Homo-oligomer: A and B are copies of this chain.
Amino acid sequence: MGKYLPKAIVHSDEIDRLLAVEPGWTKKKSGVEKRHYAKSETASDMGAEAVKKALQNADTTLDEIDAIICTSGTMEQPIPCTASLIHKKLAPARPIPAFDINSTCLSFVTGFDLISHAVANGTYKKVVIVASEIASVGLNREQKESYVLFGDAAAACVVETADEETTGILAAKMETYSEGAHLTEIRGGGTKYHPNFHHNEQDFLFDMDGQKVFRMSSKVINPFVDELLQEADLSIKDLKAVVPHQASGMAMRLLQKKLGIPSSQFINVIENYGNTIAASIPLALCDAIESGKIQRGDHVMLLGTSAGLSLGGMIFVY
């Protein structure tokens, strides 16, 4: 795996001043100490750097890669797909396929699961999945609770079949509860509200009803995780690590408590990055691998919620 963090770092006390809230409010509300904002980088710049790092860490080169899959919740341009723009920065001379998979914050998990079937049956030998997110451009200062949560980052992962069957995906699951489709949204910028004809600036900014999202997902998360564990024939104690979507400090604390996961098993890096949308899970996974918290042979669960409203999870042996 590999990651890229934009050069500009924004500390929570700077955001306190920007939002004119009392000192400490941003940190307390979000659980975030600092986050990175892309001020000089594009999403494809960041994605390409994360891929390079992942290739290096996987001891491979782009010449061995059969496809570039971008799994971001945001896009650099409406056309073409972000994977093509990353492809251009990495491999302009090698016509390997490039396409996007999107389920907002769960895009990486959805993409990893989906592409694994094509890798398992030999269509692709080795692929790279990359999530590159610039959340900072679409934050809404009027909605302080969500403004303080987000950061920008990219994370990438090389996926191939294992030589021996010592590693692999044991279970994967996704559920979409679309009665919550409008609880987390950016309404404007697609075909519904085109920028040239729609001029309500609020509609082009991130809008979330965090309370309702939390209530909806709370009702279904326990059976979801139980089924995921059952599919893998494991229990929570068999997992070396649970890597949750780094949604917010509070959401993560509540999730941890609700599922009864000891802190030693729960990967929480939100303090350093904020919520980086679909980059959040692979970024936390990357850090846990780099720090040695996750080692070869360990059982790992990825778990998160996303706009949709969707739940997604995966259990694999690293």
Of the residues B78, B95, B178, B187, contact of A190 by C-beta under 8 Å = B78
Determine which of B190, B197, B204 lies in contact with A74 in the assembled complex, contact meaning CB atoms within 8 Å.
Answer: B190
Please indicate the chain B residues that have their CB under 8 angstroms from the CB of A309 in the complex: 80, 84
Which residue of A74, A121, A192 has the most chain B CB atoms within 10 A of its CB atom?
A192
How many of chain A's residues have a CB under 8 angstroms from any CB in B?
Answer: 78
Q: Does A18 contact B (CB under 8 A)?
A: no
Give how many copies assemble into the complex.
2
Q: Which residue of B lies closest to A277 (CB)?
A: B79
Check if A23 is an interface residue, CB within 8 A of chain B. no
State A121–B248 Cα separation when bound (angstroms).
Answer: 36
Contact of A191 among B43, B92, B93, B123 (CB under 8 A): B43
Q: Give complex CA distance A175, B93 in Å.
A: 11
Residues of B within 8 A of A68 (CB): 176
Complex contacts, A76 vs chain B, CB 8 Å? 190-192
- A98 to chain B: closest residue by CB: B176
Q: Which residue of B lies closest to A81 (CB)?
A: B102
In angstroms, how far is the closest chain B Cβ from the Cβ of A130?
14
Interface residue from B114, B175, B188, B191 paired with A114 (Cβ < 8 Å): B114
Which residues from B are CB-within-8-Å of A275? Answer: none
Known contacts being A134-B191, A184-B79, is A96 close to B175, with CB within 8 Å?
yes
Q: Is A174 an interface residue (CB 8 A)?
A: yes
Q: Which of B38, B80, B307 contacts A80 (CB 8 A)?
A: B307
Inter-subunit contact A175/B78 (CB<8 Å): no
B-facing mask of A167-211, CB < 8 A → 1, else 0?
A: 000001011111101001111111111111100010011100000
Q: Which residues of B contact A21 (CB under 8 A)?
A: none
CB contacts (< 8 Å) of A104 on chain B: these are 79-81
Any B CB within 8 A of the CB of A91: yes
Name A91's contact: one of B117, B178, B191, B195 (CB within 8 Å). B178
Task: Say whether A306 faces chain B, with CB atoms less than 8 Å apart.
Answer: yes
Tell me the chain A residues, 26-67 only, with Cβ under 8 Å from chain B.
Answer: 38, 42-43
Question: How far apart sit A317 and B36, CA to CA, in the bound complex (Å)?
Answer: 50
- What is the bound-complex CA distance between A206 and B79, given in angstroms? 8
Instruction: Tell me if A137 counts as interface (CB < 8 A to partner B).
Output: yes
Q: Of B80, B118, B189, which is within 8 A of A77 by CB?
A: B189
A80 to B192 Cα, complex, angstroms = 13
In the bound assembly, the distance between CA atoms of A302 and B55 in angstroms comes to: 33
Contact indicator B100/A101 (Cβ below 8 Å): yes
A75 within 8 A of B: yes
Complex Cα distance, B199 from A201, in Å, reads 12
A residues neighboring B (CB under 8 Å): 38, 42-43, 68, 73-85, 87-88, 91-93, 95-104, 106-107, 110, 114-115, 117-118, 120-121, 123, 134, 137-138, 172, 174-179, 181, 184-197, 201, 204-206, 220, 306-310, 312
